[in-house]
């Protein structure tokens, strides 16, 4: 039996390992496992982040992480962990290429058009031997449910065009292509978006606007 649940602090090491092993083309993995552990520890604690794990017989076999407000989380993270984070990535911190990538990673939310959803699916991983068994889909659905509970009405994912399998997965999850962005120089990423229908009356007006925006995209 596979259990899906919110991550707790004891999961940070395993999540960091999965991220490091399976998102190895991603820039965060370049910063090393110790940095990823620090990052996921802060993510699990933060109210701006949702982190969900799939667990089978006490083994973490997959996870998904998402941000309600990534800018707020980065601010929080740097305020509380600046020295520790610098120490964890030492001596890479003196490498100008790495410094540029850190800058691009922290400041890409600013480059994004304001009509694009703020909330974001950040990473999703399922261990190789469990892939193709709908675990990724279940994690995705759980994240959507958690976002909804926290009042998020739409979210996005940014995925490199050099990751065709991940692109296929997000398309299979019915993501709508809503834009492209160059987060790191020379690497084009796609932005996929999802709508979550909230039942709360106060959000009705906001949902109406974004419904018409997505409708408009269909006819572009
Ligand atoms: C992407 C990933 C999380 C998908 O997890 P998964 O558990 O294998 O996916 P599921 O079994 O839930 O598949 C759901 C749907 O997506 C499709 N899909 C999943 N992986 C796919 C692949 N590699 N190629 C094509 N389609 C794929 C499946 O066809 C499936 O639809 P179906 O049930 O109609 O066949 C997993 O492959 C993974 O961990 N990849 C490495 C890390 C990664 O690239 N993460 C994304 C970037 S952060």
At residue 219, the pLDDT reads: 57
Q: Say which CATH superfamily domain 2-218 falls into.
A: Gcn5-related N-acetyltransferase (GNAT) (3.40.630.30)
Contact 59, 136 (CB under 8 A): no
pLDDT in tens, 29-46: 889 999 999 999 999 999
Q: Which residue has the higher pLDDT, 86 or 68?
A: 68
d(CA 149, CA 198): 9
Residue 179 structure tokens: 């834009």
- Alpha helices (runs of H) in the chain, residue ranges in sequence order: 12-22, 27-30, 33-45, 70-89, 96-111, 135-149, 164-172, 204-218
Question: How do residues 92-127 score in pLDDT, each as one tens digit?
Answer: 877 888 888 887 777 776 667 778 899 999 999 999
Chain centroid to CA 74 = 13
**pTM of the predicted model as reported, rounded to 2 decimal places:** 0.87
Kindly tell me the burial class for residue 51, based on how many C-beta atoms sit within 10 Å of its own C-beta (0-12, 13-18, 19 or more): buried
| pLDDT, tens digit, 9 for 90 and up, residues 137-148 | 999 999 999 999
At 4 the pLDDT is: 98
Tell me, in angstroms, the distance from the centre of ligand 1 to residue 215's CA. 27
Ligand 1 site, CB within 6 A: 22-23, 123-126, 131-137, 163, 165-166, 168-169, 172
Instruction: Return d(Cα 19, Cα 14) in angstroms, integer.
Output: 9
Q: pLDDT band for position 67 (50/70/90)?
A: very high
Q: Output the pLDDT for position 206.
A: 58
For residue 88, the model assigns a pLDDT of: 85
Q: What are the CA-CA distances from residue 29 to residues 2, 9, 17, 105, 187 (Å)?
A: 27, 20, 9, 13, 16
- Measured CA to CA in angstroms, residue 43 lies from 70, 165, 206 at distances of 10, 26, 28
Q: Mean pLDDT over residues 156-184, rounded?
A: 93
pLDDT digits (tens, 9 = 90+) for 204-217: 565 566 666 665 66
Among 29, 136, 191, say which to mutate for ligand 1: greatest number of ligand atoms within 8 Å of CB.
Answer: 136
């Amino acid at each position: 039996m596979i259990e899906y649940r919110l991550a707790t602090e004891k999961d940070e090491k395993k999540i960091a390992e999965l991220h490091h092993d399976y998102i190895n083309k991603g820039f965060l993995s370049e910063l090393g496992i110790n940095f990823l552990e620090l990052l996921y520890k802060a993510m699990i604690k933060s109210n701006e982040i949702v982190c969900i794990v799939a667990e089978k017989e006490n083994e973490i076999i997959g996870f998904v992480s998402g941000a309600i407000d990534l800018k707020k989380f980065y601010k929080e993270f740097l305020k509380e962990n600046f020295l520790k984070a610098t120490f964890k990535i030492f001596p890479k911190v003196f490498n100008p290429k790495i410094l540029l990538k850190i800058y691009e990673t922290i400041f890409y939310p600013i480059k994004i058009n304001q009509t694009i959803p703020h909330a974001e699916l950040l990473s999703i991983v399922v261990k190789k031997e469990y892939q193709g068994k709908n675990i990724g889909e279940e994690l995705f659905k759980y994240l959507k449910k958690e976002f909804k509970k926290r009042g998020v009405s739409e979210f996005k994912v940014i995925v490199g065009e050099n990751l065709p399998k991940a692109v296929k997965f997000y398309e299979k999850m019915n993501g709508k292509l809503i834009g492209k962005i160059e987060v790191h120089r020379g690497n084009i990423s796609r932005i996929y978006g999802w709508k979550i229908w909230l039942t709360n009356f106060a959000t009705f007006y906001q949902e109406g606007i974004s419904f018409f925006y997505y409708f408009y995209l269909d006819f572009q």
